[in-house]
């Protein structure tokens, strides 16, 4: 069953159109990846779904309800949560305070202690540094904190923009393993990722976007066998 359906979505900035009739859906409990090169509309799609960028045309339905014109905080209260590219942490606040801020949606407050325990179990390093200012963490630790803050929001859908960007391979693998754990909790995931090989390996279903349009979609194992994907994204010939 689709928990999120995006249909014929157009969006952009000013007079510059970025998305063209973009259509995708997320099946409940699955990990879906959205892959493509730089500047092709991946982040714009996430921002438009979240309400941070205005949709020009189309439909966005969450659990059967049209949400295209709702404000981001209302969508967060419904369980739609974005972990943005660049982390956007409160750098002068501690790790614990950042996690507390993540639990600001009304739906998250009753689950605060449970989710905090989950975050610290998934990321023991955050527990060790819980009193440390977020701005003094390493890049990998900051990404852990950004994901942890998303978990604190009690998401039904967690959208993550560029999980592995700038991370060392060991930390990247640890964070991707966290996504598997989140799936077992029943959280639906949408991963925007430039590391196409890793995204295909971990996800159930993949969309390939180019020039603001969905060019290819299918089960991830099937997309990985596509000759264009192998040549353009996986370095195979």
Tell me the CA distances in angstroms from 136 to 25, 133, 152, 158, 162, one per residue in order: 38, 6, 21, 26, 21
Checking DSSP bridges between strand 31-35 and strand 2-13, what pairing results, if any? unpaired
Q: What is the pLDDT of residues 108-160, one digit of tens each?
A: 999 999 999 999 999 999 999 999 999 999 988 999 999 999 999 999 999 99
Give the single-character DSSP code of 126. H
* 115 neighbors 152 (Cβ within 8 angstroms): yes
Q: Is 227 exposed, middle or buried (0-12, 13-18, 19+ CB in 10 A)?
A: exposed
- Kindly indicate the confidence band of residue 169, based on its pLDDT and cuts at 50, 70 and 90: confident
The token duo for 229 is: 């994907």
pLDDT greater than 90 at residue 7: yes
Contact 183, 29 (CB under 8 A): yes
Q: By the 8 A CB rule, do 79 and 157 touch?
A: yes
- In this prediction, residue 236 carries a pLDDT of 62
80 three-class SS: strand
pLDDT at residue 230, as a whole number: 86
d(CA 156, CA 233): 30
What 3-state class would DSSP assign to 145? Answer: helix
Q: Where in the chain is the domain with CATH 3.40.50.300?
A: 1-79+156-163+186-237
**CATH superfamily entry for domain 1-79+156-163+186-237:** P-loop containing nucleotide triphosphate hydrolases (3.40.50.300)
pTM: 0.93
Model confidence pLDDT, tens digit, residues 17-33: 999 999 999 999 999 99
At 15, is the secondary structure helix, strand, or coil? Answer: coil
Q: What is the pLDDT of residues 72-103, one digit of tens each?
A: 999 999 999 999 987 789 999 999 999 999 99
* C-beta neighbour count of 37 within 10 angstroms: 14
């Amino acid at each position: 069953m689709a928990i999120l359906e995006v249909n014929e979505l157009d969006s952009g900035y000013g007079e510059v159109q970025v998305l063209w009739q973009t259509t995708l859906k997320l099946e409940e409990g699955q990990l879906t990846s959205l892959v493509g090169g730089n500047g092709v509309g991946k982040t714009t799609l996430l921002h438009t779904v979240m309400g941070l960028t205005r949709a020009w045309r189309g439909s966005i339905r969450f659990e059967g309800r049209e949400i295209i014109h709702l404000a981001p905080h209302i969508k967060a209260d419904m369980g739609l949560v974005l972990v943005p590219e660049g982390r956007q942490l409160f750098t002068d606040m501690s790790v614990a305070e950042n996690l507390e801020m993540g639990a600001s949606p009304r739906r998250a407050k009753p689950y605060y202690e449970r989710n905090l325990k989950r975050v610290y179990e998934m990321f023991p390093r955050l527990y060790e540094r819980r009193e440390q200012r977020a701005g003094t963490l390493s890049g990998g630790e900051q990404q852990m904190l950004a994901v942890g803050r998303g978990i604190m929001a009690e998401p039904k859908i967690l959208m993550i923009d560029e999980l592995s960007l700038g991370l060392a391979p060991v930390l990247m693998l640890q964070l991707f393993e966290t996504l598997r754990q989140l799936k077992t909790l029943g959280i639906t995931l949408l991963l925007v990722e430039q590391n196409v090989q890793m995204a295909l390996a971990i996800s159930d279903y993949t969309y390939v976007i180019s020039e603001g349009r969905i060019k290819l979609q299918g089960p991830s194992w099937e997309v990985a066998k596509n000759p264009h994907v192998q040549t353009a994204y996986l370095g195979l010939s």
